[in-house]
Amino acid sequence: MSTATPTPRRAPGELQSIWLVAEREIGSKLRSKAFVISTAILIVAALASVIWGGFAANNASGSGIPVAVTSQTQSAVSGLDGLEVTVSDSDEAARALVEDGTVDAALVSGSSDAAFDYTVVAEDNVPSALLQMLSESPPVQLLDPGAGLADALRYIIALGFGLVFLIAASTFGGTIAQSVVEEKQTRVVEILISAIPVRVLLAGKVLGNTILAMAQIVLLAAVALIGLAVTGQTGMLDALGAPIAWFAIFFLFGFVLLAALFAAAAAMVSRQEDIGSTTTPITMLIMAPYFLVIFFNDNPVVLTIMSYVPFSAPVGMPLRMYIGDAQWWEPVLSLAILLGSCVLAIGLAARIYRNSLLRMGARVKLAEALKG
């Protein structure tokens, strides 16, 4: 009687192993209530800020000081912005609108011996802004009347790009570092690398956290675009469409670069308490674009340099595209530089990670990690 020989189970291939590690990273993060809640809060806050900004802009553009005038005094307010003018049939009707609170003030006919041909009537207090508008002043011609609003929008958008990059990169980069050290501390890494190569473990960690980070970025981008559409900010929607798309592309490769460096830096230590000693320089690289766009968002030289430096290109180039300061070929060139830097950083990080992962005890020096 012959018995069938069991077929040996085929070991998973390298790509399958990478995906298994990535699934493990994604699953552990999605099971974290803190991560899910913080992501939901971030998305709701982004949607609320966009909607509130749109409604505030609409209200600001459509609101003004309610004023009643007559056909004789209407010329006094012609050409003045910031007023909601109601034309009354007579002085008595204009006064009645003030008395019942419909308007804050009324311009009625003045006495013949007065310096002005009208009189301002109010209940108990005249709006100071109205008096300033009515005061005699020399003619003013603004060469660029929208510059103030453009400066404010540029600052807000620069802050948004910088803040999203800072939060996403530091959050998921820190997650990779903690995961690496936790596996070293618990000796789980010895079991893992007995089944899969070290490079596969590193690639899986980077891939899993990159998927999570990009999912968060895409959600935030969708929320911003939906918010702009809901509030009717079509001009802003058209202006931000391409910069947001490029921001997502630059962030993808920029985060892969940073994630590999975070994993390598964490592999050089064996305790959670020592993570900061090796990851602080990388954290400073993440924080630099945020502060640079806050202080230099109106400096074209600084923004141009930022748009070609790999660590700040995800913030600098989309901002320059929104401003209209970048030529069509500049994002392509900057992305090529980022891709080249990404390849070099991954190779360097993989060497450090491989040479440091199984070394326990004191922190591994960088020179030793590079030598092996």
Dump pLDDT digits (tens) for 309-318: 999 999 999 9
Q: How confident is residue 146, by pLDDT bands cut at 50, 70 and 90?
A: low
79 burial type by CB count under 10 A (0-12 exposed, 13-18 middle, 19+ buried): exposed
Greatest alpha-carbon span in the chain: 130
Check whether 179 has a pLDDT greater than 50.
yes
Q: Are 250 and 338 in contact (CB under 8 A)?
A: yes
Strands 118-122 and 83-87: unpaired
Dump pLDDT digits (tens) for 155-176: 888 888 898 899 899 989 998 9
| Listed residue (310, 293, 323) closest to 158, CA to CA | 293
Strands 118-122 and 105-109: antiparallel
Q: How confident is residue 44, by pLDDT bands cut at 50, 70 and 90?
A: confident
- At 310 the pLDDT is 93
Of 93-107, 133-147, 261-275, 321-335, where does mean pLDDT reach its minimum? 133-147
- At 8 the pLDDT is 57
Of 28-37, 270-279, 326-335, where does mean pLDDT reach its minimum? 28-37
Residue extents of the structural domains in the chain: 66-134, 147-371
Dump pLDDT digits (tens) for 94-143: 888 888 888 888 888 876 555 567 788 887 777 777 767 776 544 444 54
Q: Are 349 and 366 in contact (CB under 8 A)?
A: no
Of 13-27, 230-244, 320-334, where does mean pLDDT reach its minimum? 230-244
- At 149 the pLDDT is 52
Phi and psi, residue 201, nearest 5° = -60, -45
- At 372 the pLDDT is 64
Per-residue pLDDT, averaged over 136-153, amounts to: 55
- At 364 the pLDDT is 87
Q: Are 372 and 284 in contact (CB under 8 A)?
A: no
Mean pLDDT over all residues of the chain?
83
Q: Are 132 and 94 in contact (CB under 8 A)?
A: no
Dump pLDDT digits (tens) for 83-96: 888 888 888 888 88
* DSSP 8-state class, residue 261: H
- At 141 the pLDDT is 47
pTM listed for this prediction: 0.73
Phi and psi, residue 17, nearest 5° = -65, -40
